[in-house]
Amino acid sequence: MADRDKPEGIPDLRERRIDEWEDIEAVLDEITACDLPHPTRSFSDGIAFVTFAYDIDGVSIEIAKYGGCLEHFLDPPPPIHCIAGTFTRKADGVLPERWKRRTLHGADGWDKWEGGKWFDRLFREEMSAGSEASRELAREIWTQAVTLADDLERTIISEGIGLLVSVNVNSNPGNLAFALAIVLASERTGCPVLNNNHDFYWEGGKPASERAPGEEVGPRDHFFRNWRNEAFFRLFKRLLPWNGRRWIQVNINTIQSRILIQEQGFDPRDVDTVGTLIEESFFRPCTQEEKRDHRLRMAHILSNGERRIRPVAVEEFVAGVSDWMRNQHPVVCGAEPGLELDIASSDALYLLQPTRVVARKRIERDWELIGALLEHPPFREAFETRPALTLTLHITGPVPIEHQADLERVLRTYRGVLERLPDSTRRRLFLAFSVGTEDHPALHGNGLGKIDIAGIYKLADAVLFPSLTEGRGLPIPESSGAGVPIICSRYQPEEVFAAVIGEQLPEEQQIWYDLFPEGEFGADLLESLTSILLDPASLAERIRHNREAVRGRDAMPEMSRSFKRYLERLQVKSGA
Burial class (CB within 10 angstroms; exposed 0-12, middle 13-18, buried 19+) of 560? middle
* DSSP bridge partners of 80: 47
In 3-state terms, what secondary structure has residue 185?
A: helix
Q: What is the rounded CA–CA span in Å between residue 508 and residue 501?
A: 11
Residues 6+ apart with CB under 8 A from 69: 277, 556, 559, 560, 563
| pLDDT attached to residue 214 | 86
Q: What is the rounded CA–CA span in Å between residue 572 and residue 576?
A: 6
Sequence-distant contacts of 111-117: CB under 8 A, at least 24 apart: 111/400, 111/401, 111/402, 112/52, 112/53, 112/85, 112/86, 112/401, 113/85, 113/174, 113/175, 116/402
pLDDT, tens digit, 9 for 90 and up, residues 509-529: 999 999 999 999 999 999 999
Q: What is the rounded CA–CA span in Å between residue 46 and residue 74?
A: 11
Alpha helices in 212-286 (DSSP H): 230-239, 254-262, 280-283
Which run of H or E residues covers position 514?
A: strand 514-515
DSSP 512: P
Dihedral pair phi/psi, residue 56, rounded to 5°: -95, 75
CB 215 within 8 A of CB 197: no
Number of Cβ within 10 Å of residue 284's Cβ equals 12
List the domains of the chain with CATH numbers.
19-277+557-574 (3.40.50.2000), 281-554 (3.40.50.2000)
* DSSP bridge partners of 462: 351
The one-letter amino acid at 189: T
| pLDDT attached to residue 11 | 66
pLDDT, tens digit, 9 for 90 and up, residues 70-85: 999 999 999 999 999 9
CB 477 within 8 A of CB 500: yes
CB 461 within 8 A of CB 343: no
In 3-state terms, what secondary structure has residue 184?
A: helix
Q: What is the rounded CA–CA span in Å between residue 231 and residue 236?
A: 9
* DSSP bridge partners of 341: 309
Residues 28-55: b if buried by 16+ CB within 10 A, e if exposed: beebeeeebbebebbbebbbbbbbbbbb
Residues 6+ apart with CB under 8 A from 102: 48, 81, 82, 83, 155
| pLDDT attached to residue 56 | 84
In 3-state terms, what secondary structure has residue 503?
A: coil
CB 138 within 8 A of CB 19: yes
CB 386 within 8 A of CB 345: no
Q: Which of 211, 390, 364, 242 is nearest to 308 (CA)?
A: 390
128 alpha carbon, distance to own chain's centre: 33
Number of Cβ within 10 Å of residue 2's Cβ equals 9
pLDDT, tens digit, 9 for 90 and up, residues 525-568: 999 999 999 999 999 999 999 999 998 787 788 899 999 999 99
Q: Pseudo-torsion of CA 266, 270, 273, 278, nearest 10°?
A: -150
Is the Cα dihedral 57, 63, 69, 72 positive or negative?
A: negative
Ranges in the chain, pLDDT < 50: 1-5, 7
Q: What is the rounded CA–CA span in Å between residue 264 and residue 259?
A: 7
CB 146 within 8 A of CB 205: no
DSSP 517: -
Please report, for residues 47, 94, 99, 180, 189, the alpha-carbon distance to residue 149 in angstroms, rounded to integers and kept in the order given. Answer: 17, 27, 22, 8, 10
pLDDT, tens digit, 9 for 90 and up, residues 170-200: 999 999 999 999 999 999 999 999 999 999 9
Number of Cβ within 10 Å of residue 106's Cβ equals 17
Global pTM value: 0.85
Q: Three-class SS string for 34-59?
A: CCCCCCCCCHHHCEEEECCEECCCHH
